[in-house]
Structure 1
Amino acid sequence: MNTTIAEKRVLREPELLELGTRAFEGLGLAHEDARDVARILVTADLFGLSTHGLSRIESYGERLGVGGIKARPRITREQRAPAIVGIDGDNGVGPLVGMRALEAAMDTARQTGVGVAFARGSNHFGPVSPYSLIAAEAGFASIIGSNATTTIAPWGGSDARLGNSPVGFGVPNPGGNPFLLDMAISVAARAKIRNALKRGDAIPDTWATDKAGRATTDPAAALEGFLLPIGGHKGYGLALLVDLFAGLLSGAAYLTHVKSWVDAPDEPQNLGHFFILIDTRHLGSTPWLAQRMNDFAAILHDSPPAQASRPVLVPGEIELSNLARHRREGLALDPAVLALLEQHAAKL
């Protein structure tokens, strides 16, 4: 049952999946495709990643409406080598192309031990961690990444030439929580800066620069400027590496060849993704992996915390804790997001 708390409706996971599926069907997607898109976005919301969850119905829906994304793409798979597969997304919704690439990489890894999928002709595919979780629950370790619209200046440069390309890592744990690391290359995502602007809040001066390259606490100036990479020149190098794998090697657009979905919403972005999966069953038995993963986490957890109220965590534990809690208690969606989902679902 839906309940209401502080004017927000609390929905259970099956309800979120059903509403998300119907909303994307209302935008023209086939039922199974809409279900796959909703699965990624709902998982993001359950993880607590609301900026990359069902709220994406706004930007995805706008581009579907003006023909910038195909609602009914013909996604194709081409086996390039025993362990390498290419995916042409035909300008489909990003999470749909991402799911097809993940499935291809898993199918290949089951046969060869390692599966690598390169996807092109895609769009924003949500956060990495939902894909990493799906892979981990199926027994696969993963390295997953995507390129993105240019928002970061080259190290020492003065204009945007590379994207805030996300990359993530996952390692399954049959006896507990998998390891999940999902990170963008910038200190903070543009979505966080946009949210600060909506709230009227200042941002830390380590997040971004203005268009002249000066550190700023003004979110409006930051959105006109550039994101700052983590670790300075090291983050710059990592961002380039992700784009080389996701964009250049996949055959997708890369660096400034990527179209901005804000400036040109009716044009294909041709984003690229990569999925590198390892079938851990070829490395050892399930009990072997569970024992080692639990010991790995215990070594970290046993470190005395510098602050008693902040124990040492393993990457992914916060998201997985949020996932478990939201599955028990439900999730309160932003009323504006809920209204937009219901508006599109009503088109059926």
Structure 2
Amino acid sequence: MNTRTTDKVLVPQEELTALGVRAFQNLGLPPQDAADVARILVLADLFGLSTHGLSRIESYGSRLQVGGINAKADISIQKPAAGLRLVDGDNGIGPLVGMHALRAAMEAAEACGIGMAFARQSNHFGPISPYGLMAAEAGYASIIGSNATTTIAPWGGTDARVGNSPIGFAVPNPSGNHFLLDMAMSVVARAKIRNALKAGQSIPDTWATDSAGKPTSDPKEALDGFLLPIGGHKGYGLALMVDLFAGLLSNAAYLTHVKSWVDAPDEPQNLGHFFILIDTRKLGSTQWLTERMNDFASILHDSQPADPARPVIQPGEIELARMAHQKTHGIAIDAEVLDLLRQHAGQTA
């Protein structure tokens, strides 16, 4: 049963997953591929990452319909070394390529203790935290990254040549309280700047630059300009490292070679991803890891908060709490997104 709250609808996880699978099948994906895609996007919604969840049916769906994404991708995996996997996504939908790369890296790590998969010929693969969670639940610590369309100027530059490339880290806690960190390279998302413009508000001049590369507090100038990386020149360097691993070393596109799915929706992006996994079971027992991870979190939690209403947490706690709540009470999804899913799934209500 669905419950509507303002512009959100609460949908049980199983029902929403089935709807997502059916929608992607109707967009041309084979059943198992559609299930892989829905798994990533539903996890994103469970975490509360609605901008990267099933709302992506709009952009993924339109690109599938115009042939910009290959619905019947024949994904292949090469094994150049015991701990290495090379994944060719055949321009498949990003979460599907990501799932293949995750499983390939798991296989390599199980055999060698540490494994790495490089993926190319892919597209936007959703947020990183769902992959980190799946790896953690299987006992693997992970470092995962992807490159992206260029929205950031080189440090000191005046045009977009660097992607807002995300990177994520996860360390398992066998008790379930995993460490999950998922971050992009910009100080804020462009959506925050758009919201400030709609509200007629100024923005901090640390968020973005104008088209001449100068810091600005005007949201309109910022939208015509470029996002600023986290940590200034350090974030710029980190963004380049993500692109070197995800794009250059994977033999995918990198920097300005990455196609914009907005400007060219019918052309392959050739995005790249990387998955580095460590089998923590090779390091010690689950009891050993649980005790150390719990102690690690306790040291942070025991810090007296500056604001009593905001206790100290470790990355991942908010997302895992949201997931637990929504598994029980239903996933909050925008009514418009639900309607679009139903349209693609061939449902009228």
Q: TM-score scaled by structure 1?
A: 0.96
Deviation at 1:5, TM superposition (A): 2.5
Deviation at 1:314, TM superposition (A): 0.3
Contact kept? 1:141, 1:278, Cα under 8 Å = yes
Code of the aligned partner of 2:102: L
Deviation at 1:58, TM superposition (A): 0.9
Q: How does 1:154-193 map to 2 (within 5 A)?
A: 154-193=154-193
Residues of 1 paired with 2:218 and 2:61: CA distance? 29
Q: What residue ranges of structure 1 are gaps of 5+ in the alignment?
A: none
Code of the aligned partner of 2:112: T
Deviation at 1:215, TM superposition (A): 3.1
> Secondary structure at 1:85's aligned position in 2?
strand
Contact kept? 2:326, 2:332, Cα under 8 Å = no
Contact kept? 2:156, 2:213, Cα under 8 Å = no
Is structure 2 residue 223 aligned with structure 1 residue 242? no
Deviation at 1:312, TM superposition (A): 0.5
Q: What residue ranges of structure 2 are gaps of 5+ in the alignment?
A: none
Contact kept? 1:141, 1:280, Cα under 8 Å = yes
Partner of 1:306: 306
> Secondary structure at 1:154's aligned position in 2?
coil
Deviation at 1:223, TM superposition (A): 3.0
Residues of 2 paired with 1:198 and 1:339: CA distance? 25
> Secondary structure at 2:145's aligned position in 1?
strand
Contact kept? 1:3, 1:9, Cα under 8 Å = yes
Q: TM-score scaled by structure 2?
A: 0.96
Residues of 1 paired with 2:221 and 2:262: CA distance? 17
Task: Describe the shift of the 1:204–1:83 C-alpha distance in structure 2 as closer, same or farther (beyond 3 A).
Answer: same
CA deviations on 1:21-45 (whole Å, 9 max, x unpaired) are: 1111111111111111111111111
Partner of 2:17: 17
Runs of 4+ residues deviating >6 angstroms: 198-201
Residues of 2 paired with 1:49 and 1:76: CA distance? 30
Structure 1 vs Structure 2: percent identity of aligned residues? 71
Q: Identify which range, 14-23 or 248-257, moves more after superposition.
A: 14-23
Residues of 1 paired with 2:240 and 2:234: CA distance? 10
CA deviations on 1:173-224 (whole Å, 9 max, x unpaired) are: 0024100000001111234445656777654433222222233445444333
Count matched residues. Answer: 348
Residues of 1 paired with 2:218 and 2:334: CA distance? 25
Partner of 2:36: 36
Partner of 2:331: 331
Partner of 2:225: 225
Contact kept? 1:146, 1:246, Cα under 8 Å = yes
Contact kept? 2:136, 2:178, Cα under 8 Å = yes
> Secondary structure at 1:87's aligned position in 2?
strand
Q: Identify which range, 199-208 or 256-265, moves more after superposition.
A: 199-208
Partner of 2:285: 285
Task: Describe the shift of the 1:237–1:36 C-alpha distance in structure 2 as closer, same or farther (beyond 3 A).
Answer: same
Give the alignment's Cα RMSD to 1 decimal. 1.7
Partner of 1:261: 261
Partner of 1:138: 138
CA deviations on 1:88-142 (whole Å, 9 max, x unpaired) are: 0000000110000000000111111111000000000111000000000000000
Partner of 1:147: 147
Q: How does 1:24-173 map to 2 (within 5 A)?
A: 24-173=24-173
Contact kept? 1:10, 1:333, Cα under 8 Å = yes
Residues of 2 paired with 1:235 and 1:158: CA distance? 17
Deviation at 1:15, TM superposition (A): 1.2
Contact kept? 2:43, 2:130, Cα under 8 Å = yes
Deviation at 1:72, TM superposition (A): 0.7
CA deviations on 1:216-244 (whole Å, 9 max, x unpaired) are: 44544433311110000000000000000
Residues of 2 paired with 1:250 and 1:157: CA distance? 26
> Secondary structure at 1:182's aligned position in 2?
strand
Task: Describe the shift of the 1:249–1:112 C-alpha distance in structure 2 as closer, same or farther (beyond 3 A).
Answer: same
Q: Identify which range, 152-161 or 7-16, moves more after superposition.
A: 7-16
Task: Describe the shift of the 1:117–1:217 C-alpha distance in structure 2 as closer, same or farther (beyond 3 A).
Answer: same
Residues of 2 paired with 1:38 and 1:129: CA distance? 15
Q: Identify which range, 27-36 or 135-144, moves more after superposition.
A: 27-36
Code of the aligned partner of 1:23: A
Code of the aligned partner of 1:267: E
Residues of 2 paired with 1:204 and 1:291: CA distance? 42
